[in-house]
Structure 1
Amino acid sequence: MVKPTHFLALAVLLSLAGAPAIAQDKPTLTIYTYDGFAAEWGPGSALKSGFEASCACTVDFVAADSSIGTLRRVQLEGHTTSADLIVGLDTAIAGEARATGLFADHDLDLSNLTLPETWTDKQFVPFDYSHFAVMYDTDTIKNPPKSFEDLIALPDDIKISIQDPRSSTPGLGLVLWIKAAYGDRAPEIWAGLKPHILTMTRDWSESYDLFLKGEADLTLSYTTSPAYHIIEDKDETVKAAMFGEGHLAQIEVAGILKSSQHQQLARDFLAYLTSVDGQKIIPMTNWMFPVVDLGTDMNAVFAALPEPEKTLSISDQDIADHARQWIDEALAAIQ
């Protein structure tokens, strides 16, 4: 006869034996992204909590130093990558990412999105956007430039910090912005900017920090960047200079890897990312515009930000065919 205490001990042993199996049955969705997205103050943490509440899964963000860095890692790993998704590429490098053949179709209905352009991409899903802009502080710049030509005409001791287009998506965005605005005159514009360039940093955070410290008078960032200073710092002196030639939009995107063993789970995450609940997280953490209409859930500061009179664009094919040439052209002009 088995005593009651033996039954209890047997039950405990069986529960302990079953625990690892239960844990193993819970899938992990591995997402490659850039460090700012995965940081404690970025959107990653809240998106992880929100999705895990309903997915019966674990979300694991793996951060690289830049969006380009995430793509390079997946290119190196190929079909052996542990990533299920990349979150944080943008439209400037989406063509290169697509050409790798590593990304699957998302199969999502995105007809409800609000973007500067109609979205038809079958592999990449947009989750936020803003326009590139030159930032200034009204305490030091009383008459901000209204074009790149105005910037060039400023005294040479007015300096701007920019990002390297080989390692930074904003840096690449500046190359594309100038090319879209000036075409064959782009080398001339770069040559004119040369005396004003304080430095070209590896990533956005380095160059923006130089601006915040007062070492650079201007910096390359986004039309939405002032929202951070207004909301978090109660400071309305940081503004985006609005250029008459127009501004290039950066749309950040996410894509599913063909090699993922969790295809449906990855699609579910993208559906959550573009839902109202997911999009509510974006503006106040990634400081970009959401891609859906949030109505009264949108902070009024964002609605009051100035928007470009003209949005510039360059096709994926033109970027794929000429980006390296345009980068070399820009670097040659400022060396």
Structure 2
Amino acid sequence: MRRSALALLLGLAAVFTAAAPAGAADKPVLTVYTYDSFLPDWGPGPKLEVAFEKTCGCDLKWVGLGDGVAILNRLKLEGGTTKADVALGMTAEMVPEMKATGFFAPSGADLARLDVPGGWADETFVPFDYSYLAFVYDTEKMKTPPKSLDDLVDGDPAEKIVIEDPRNSTPGLGFLLWMKAVYGEAAAEKWQKLSARILTVTPGWSEAYNLFTTGEAPMVLSYTTSPAYHMIEEKTERYQAAGFAEGQYLQVELAARLAASRQPDLAKAFLAFLVSPEAQAILPTTNWAYPVTKPATPLPAAFDKLVQPTKPLVVPAEAVAANRKAWTDEWLKALGR
């Protein structure tokens, strides 16, 4: 969540698999579906793979599938024939819909050390990081960023934004819910007004952030934690997140094992590993998000410079499950799609 800009500039890998070591054919294979930008060598995937394979006696195979909502869409297509043992990258608002599929099984992970905003209590889905949605802007192109969702909606149509599609993308879905959380029944009217500012709607986060960092638009839907990447890896504070008076939408990323997994014990071990101190230390500066357990060492100083939301926004997951199709149809109609 979220993912280096450099990764996007160099392109996306649909499937990343590390070079198989000698004797790999004799090892059990654990297949993990995730989103594309988790996988490049500067992302968390390779580092997590090396760490997990040191203890699992297995071959961890990643499969990249666009963005978080796309993972669930793929599983629905595959059903019981899926080759996935674990799915990683869905978000908390999707839990009731995911449970209704019957595809997922209890994690068996010890979640006692979790420190997630709002708490967490679910035996199936394992949080592994979190962040808050934000519009990230280029300070060299935008001198007066929006300070509220109203500012964004009512802002200059010449200052374009890039957003993601809620039908495929977790940040896109999150923004759909953010608009609903703030505007309720007036959301359609606000979407219509905002449409004048939208340069394009991309399938996922990767495509949107690439357009932003290559200068196609001065602002993009991303995360409050995104600027940390630029500060730490690029040594620049050029890209910043806009703090909104109404609050920022909270997204908690999840992983779960598939009931159809051929490697249930390895899948359980991997989920337990995700919340281990070793894995949690990797995620903040590779996936650019907050850990879900208290870190053993302080986060880099750049994280202290990030927007700190005083009002996390969420829409109850049950309401999302009941209304997602209607709200998506409303969005489609409002944007003339």
Structure 2-normalised TM-score? 0.89
Letter of the structure 1 residue corresponding to residue 84 of structure 2: A
In 1, distance between residues paired with 2:307 and 2:71? Answer: 32
In 1, distance between residues paired with 2:154 and 2:260? Answer: 51
**What is the CA-CA distance between 1:121 and the residue it aligns to?**
1.6
Letter of the structure 2 residue corresponding to residue 123 of structure 1: T
**What is the CA-CA distance between 1:208 and the residue it aligns to?**
1.4
Unaligned runs of 5+ in 1: 1-21
Letter of the structure 2 residue corresponding to residue 126 of structure 1: P
Aligned residues: 314
**What is the CA-CA distance between 1:287 and the residue it aligns to?**
0.8
Contact 1:148–1:189 (CA under 8 A) maintained in structure 2: no
Match runs of 1:51-130 below 5 Å: 51-130=52-131
In 1, distance between residues paired with 2:248 and 2:334? Answer: 22
In 2, distance between residues paired with 1:146 and 1:89? Answer: 28
**RMSD, aligned CA:** 1.5
Change in Cα spacing, 1:24 to 1:296, as seen in structure 2 (3 Å) is: closer
In 2, distance between residues paired with 1:93 and 1:80? Answer: 22
In 2, distance between residues paired with 1:164 and 1:77? Answer: 22
**Per the alignment, in what secondary structure is the counterpart of residue 277 of structure 1?**
helix
> Counterpart of 1:186?
187
In 2, distance between residues paired with 1:92 and 1:330? Answer: 18
**Per the alignment, in what secondary structure is the counterpart of residue 41 of structure 1?**
coil
In 2, distance between residues paired with 1:106 and 1:253? Answer: 11
Change in Cα spacing, 1:325 to 1:114, as seen in structure 2 (3 Å) is: same
> Counterpart of 2:158?
157
> Counterpart of 1:332?
333
In 2, distance between residues paired with 1:81 and 1:194? Answer: 38
In 1, distance between residues paired with 2:213 and 2:326? Answer: 32
Q: For residues 295-327 of structure 1, give each alpha carbon's deviation from its aligned partner in whole angstroms, at most 9, with x where no partner exists.
A: 425212113312111001111111110011111
Letter of the structure 2 residue corresponding to residue 249 of structure 1: L
> Counterpart of 2:168?
167
Percent identity for Structure 1 against Structure 2 = 47
**What is the CA-CA distance between 1:221 and the residue it aligns to?**
0.3
Contact 2:241–2:306 (CA under 8 A) maintained in structure 1: no
Change in Cα spacing, 1:244 to 1:90, as seen in structure 2 (3 Å) is: same
In 2, distance between residues paired with 1:35 and 1:110? Answer: 26
**Per the alignment, in what secondary structure is the counterpart of residue 186 of structure 2?**
helix
In 2, distance between residues paired with 1:23 and 1:302? Answer: 39
Letter of the structure 1 residue corresponding to residue 81 of structure 2: T
> Counterpart of 2:247?
246
**What is the CA-CA distance between 1:23 and the residue it aligns to?**
6.0
Letter of the structure 2 residue corresponding to residue 240 of structure 1: A
> Counterpart of 2:47?
46
**What is the CA-CA distance between 1:111 and the residue it aligns to?**
2.1
Match runs of 1:274-313 below 5 Å: 274-313=275-314
Contact 2:154–2:194 (CA under 8 A) maintained in structure 1: no
2:38 counterpart of 1:28: no
**Per the alignment, in what secondary structure is the counterpart of residue 129 of structure 2?**
strand
Letter of the structure 2 residue corresponding to residue 175 of structure 1: L
Match runs of 1:307-322 below 5 Å: 307-322=308-323
In 2, distance between residues paired with 1:129 and 1:225? Answer: 12
> Counterpart of 2:4?
none
Change in Cα spacing, 1:25 to 1:205, as seen in structure 2 (3 Å) is: closer
**Per the alignment, in what secondary structure is the counterpart of residue 61 of structure 2?**
strand
In 2, distance between residues paired with 1:131 and 1:297? Answer: 20
**Per the alignment, in what secondary structure is the counterpart of residue 281 of structure 1?**
helix
Structure 1-normalised TM-score? 0.90
In 1, distance between residues paired with 2:25 and 2:209? Answer: 43
**What is the CA-CA distance between 1:250 and the residue it aligns to?**
0.9
Unaligned runs of 5+ in 2: 1-22
In 1, distance between residues paired with 2:128 and 2:203? Answer: 24
Contact 2:277–2:296 (CA under 8 A) maintained in structure 1: no
Q: For residues 121-162 of structure 1, give each alpha carbon's deviation from its aligned partner in whole angstroms, at most 9, with x where no partner exists.
A: 221000011000011122222221111211233222111111
Letter of the structure 2 residue corresponding to residue 298 of structure 1: L
Q: For residues 67-119 of structure 1, give each alpha carbon's deviation from its aligned partner in whole angstroms, at most 9, with x where no partner exists.
A: 22222222222222221110111123232221100100112221211111210
In 2, distance between residues paired with 1:221 and 1:266? Answer: 30
Greater shift after overlay, 212-221 or 91-100? Answer: 91-100
Greater shift after overlay, 244-253 or 31-40? Answer: 31-40
In 2, distance between residues paired with 1:216 and 1:157? Answer: 10
